[in-house]
Structures are given as structure tokens and as C-alpha cells.
Structure 1
């Protein structure tokens, strides 16, 4: 009888242990600052040295020449640097899109915040492209209705110098749209337009929600940064200008 009783106690104890769970009661952390006082590991430095040398050579390869520095801060409504990026996307993406679909891109819209660096005067290198566009954003082409395109122009009239290509927006002193054209023509009701942009904006980034529900979408698998590299390779001199593609009268 005692043996049976002890067996029951053991079973109950095991069941009780099975149901119990550990509970976190305390977390302790320590800050480990990374400073120059930390000694470099020479073995690691020696190991990565040839890879670093190869990367530095590739990143430093001269692709073109810029006679003057270009900054995204040099224009209120459009900048030479932003115009260059939008035009490069239009010029190099359209052949890819047309080969796949038989159709042409109507216009390009990028975002001012996506330009992350100045293009410095002098040699334009692979590193220049990475500095300007360090992100992995790729080109997507969205098919928008005329209503969505009009919403796009309403968004743009706020005045930020978002890079655009093959479209023009003129606003008056009250920030109201005076003229808005694509391919040199006003937006036609009932017509659809193919707008090249990046995947971040297509997903509603920078509150560009008019891009998030297109009639159709084609992902070109062509990174903006790679477009810049290819564009620089094709040019001898990088000298874009501010123009009247987006102005306030």
C-alpha cells in the first residue's frame, strides 16, 4: 500500500513539473562602446586585405566626369541632380519595359528623399552611384488611371522637388495647378498611363498612395543604383540642368 502511495506521489510530482514554466524575472545589459581603443585583429585585417583592395578598385573606377557639383538642395521645384536621375530611369528603363510589354513608359516619378548624397565635381565613379543611391530600390512600372495621375499631380503641387521626367507641372502663386502634362499633352480622361517609379514609393512610401493600387504593375528587376552606373558609363560628361519641368510662376 505504501508503495502504491509513493508511486502516486511521484506521478503527481512529475505532472506538476511538466506543467510548470520558467518565468523571466530579470534582464541585465551592459553597453560595450566601439572606440579606437579596441585593438584591431591583424589576422583578420590580413585576411580581408585582398578583398578590400578589389572592392576599392571597383568602387574607384572612373565612369564619367562632372564639371561641377550637383546637390538636391539647389532647386525648390526641380534640381539638376534629380532631373538627371529621373531622366536616366526613363532612358534606360523604357527599352526594358517595351521589350517585355510592347508598350512605352509615359513618365517617371521618384522621391526627393531618395537622393542621399551630392554628386561631387570631378571624376564620377562607381562609388558616386552608391553614395547617391545606397538603397536596393528597383524600378517598377505602374499603370495608372487618369484619376490616379491627377492625384499624382495634386500631390506634387505641394512644392517638393521630387524628380520627374517626361511630364511638366506648372503651379501659380497660390500653389494651384496651372498646367499639367505628360508627353506634352494634358491628362485625358479614361486613358491609362505607365509611370516608372521605385518599389518603395509603389508601396505607398512618402504618402504616395496613388501608386499603391495600379491597374497593372511590372517589376523590371533593375535597381536605381545600377541604372545610375549604366547611365554614367554611357556619358562622357555629367552636366544636367534645372529646367521648366516643374516650376512656379
Structure 2
């Protein structure tokens, strides 16, 4: 037994002796420099970043499209909300058809809170799309049974929230859903539906837990990249005018 402890002790000493000695850095107290507008610019730093700054500003201030009306978030069928919901649908639909989902997607849902600002009438610049969508959210397609889609309609009935939709029509009155349509048709409980949304919502964000019943299909498409592509492809924006969310007898304003 003593021999066993002796061997263990020798081994431990060997390991310790092989370690590099710990050197303590010589730490000196330096004077704190308060950040303020009075600090002089670093000429070398300013000169170094100047070409990169100019290039970035050139890209961000590039005119990519034009709108004759304000694109806002106001109302249950907001101009900007419905437009971006349509762009989400179109991008997901194109991807789906190229990746084995023969009939494409059936509808799209995005959240109004994810749209961070509005776009005024006039020229649309690249930087405005970054301001509208500053997040790195990805387009997700959720494969769902028609019976599970009831959770989506119940969500809108409960919240009466103006989260934008595309290829969906939801009508409520006196605390009841009176019409629930996908692509103008009533939902078939046994049918499979493909709903385009963001990864944030697909994972249950904004209390959209009904998506968790479906199968998530990632597309790799970033929403902001998709929106940029769509604005560039549409030099003059045509605002959707169709009615999608029809909350009758809505008393409280829940728009974001």
C-alpha cells in the first residue's frame, strides 16, 4: 500500500515539475481617459478608414426603388406589413418549388414588431431596408396539417394583432372567427400546408406557439437579403390593397 502511495506521489511531482512556471504580469495603473466630443480625432485612424467609410456610405445611400405613398405599419392591413409579407411568401415559394415542394408554399406570416421602422414616400435607399429589418432572421417554411392551422386562426382571434399575412384571410366578429381562408379556400383538416415565416416566429416568438406543431424547413434565406432583392427588382413599388385581416367590432388598438 505504501509503495502505491509512493508511486502516486512521484507521478504527481513529475506532472507539477513539467508545468511552465506562472509569470505574473507587471500591472501599472494608467490614467483614465474620459470620452467626450472634445477629444481630438486620430488623424491616422481617420485616414485609414476613410476609403472604407466612403464605400459603405455609397452602398447604403444607393437608390434601389421608389414609392409614391408612405409605407407604414399602421392598421390591420398596413402597407409596409402586407408588402413584406408578400415578399416573404414570394421568396419562400420560389425556394420551395426548387427544393422538392412541388406546389410551393400556401401562405406567409410575419410579425409587425419585427418591422422596426417605416419608409416615407419617395426614393428608397439601401440603408432604409437595413433600418426596417436590422435582424438576421431566416425564412423558415413550416409544414403543418390543416387541423393544426386552427391554432393560427385562434391566435388572431385572441390577440386581434396586426401581424401581417399573405395569402390568408381572417375575419372575426363578436368574439368568433367567421371566416378562415388560405388562398381563398377553407382549410381542409387532413391536408398538408406549407406556411412561410421567420425563424423567430417558427420557434414560438410573439406567442405563436402553434408553429411548434409543424415541421420546420430551413431555407437559408435571410429576410433582409430577400427584401433587398425584392425592392431592387421592383423599381416602382405597388402596394397591396386587398383585405387580409378583417377584425370587425375591434375596440382596442393593438397595432405596434
TM-score, normalisation: structure 2: 0.79
Post-superposition shift, 1:35? Answer: 3.5
Deviating above 3 A after TM superposition, structure 1's stretches of 4 or more consecutive aligned residues are: 31-35
**Alpha carbons of structure 1 residues 150 and 45: separation in structure 2 relative to 1, 3 Å:** same
Match of 1:4 in 2: none
Post-superposition shift, 1:61? Answer: 1.3
Match of 2:89 in 1: 90
Post-superposition shift, 1:221? Answer: 0.9
Matched, 1:191 2:191: yes
3-state SS of paired residue (1:222): strand
How far apart, CA to CA, are the structure 2 residues paired with 1:239 and 1:35? 46
3-state SS of paired residue (2:99): helix
Match of 2:160 in 1: 159
3-state SS of paired residue (1:244): coil
Task: Identify unmatched segments of 5+ residues in structure 2.
Answer: 1-31, 249-256
**Alpha carbons of structure 1 residues 114 and 34: separation in structure 2 relative to 1, 3 Å:** farther
Match of 1:218 in 2: 217
Indicate conservation of the 8 Å contact 1:79/1:241, yes or no: no
Match of 1:45 in 2: 46
CA shift digits 1:125-156 (9 cap, x unpaired): 21121011010001010101223211011111
Once the two structures are superposed, the pairs formed by residues 130-169 of structure 1 within 5 Å of their partners are 130-157=130-157, 158-169=159-170
Indicate conservation of the 8 Å contact 1:115/1:132, yes or no: yes
Match of 2:108 in 1: 108
Indicate conservation of the 8 Å contact 2:147/2:188, yes or no: no
**Alpha carbons of structure 1 residues 32 and 230: separation in structure 2 relative to 1, 3 Å:** same
Indicate conservation of the 8 Å contact 1:175/1:248, yes or no: no
Aligned length: 216
Task: Identify unmatched segments of 5+ residues in structure 1.
Answer: 1-30
Indicate conservation of the 8 Å contact 1:181/1:187, yes or no: yes
Q: CA RMSD in A?
A: 1.9
How far apart, CA to CA, are the structure 1 residues paired with 2:125 and 2:172? 37
**Alpha carbons of structure 1 residues 193 and 102: separation in structure 2 relative to 1, 3 Å:** closer
**Alpha carbons of structure 1 residues 156 and 34: separation in structure 2 relative to 1, 3 Å:** farther
CA shift digits 1:90-132 (9 cap, x unpaired): 1222111111023310000000100001112211121121011
Indicate conservation of the 8 Å contact 1:79/1:242, yes or no: no
Post-superposition shift, 1:46? Answer: 1.2
TM-score, normalisation: structure 1: 0.81
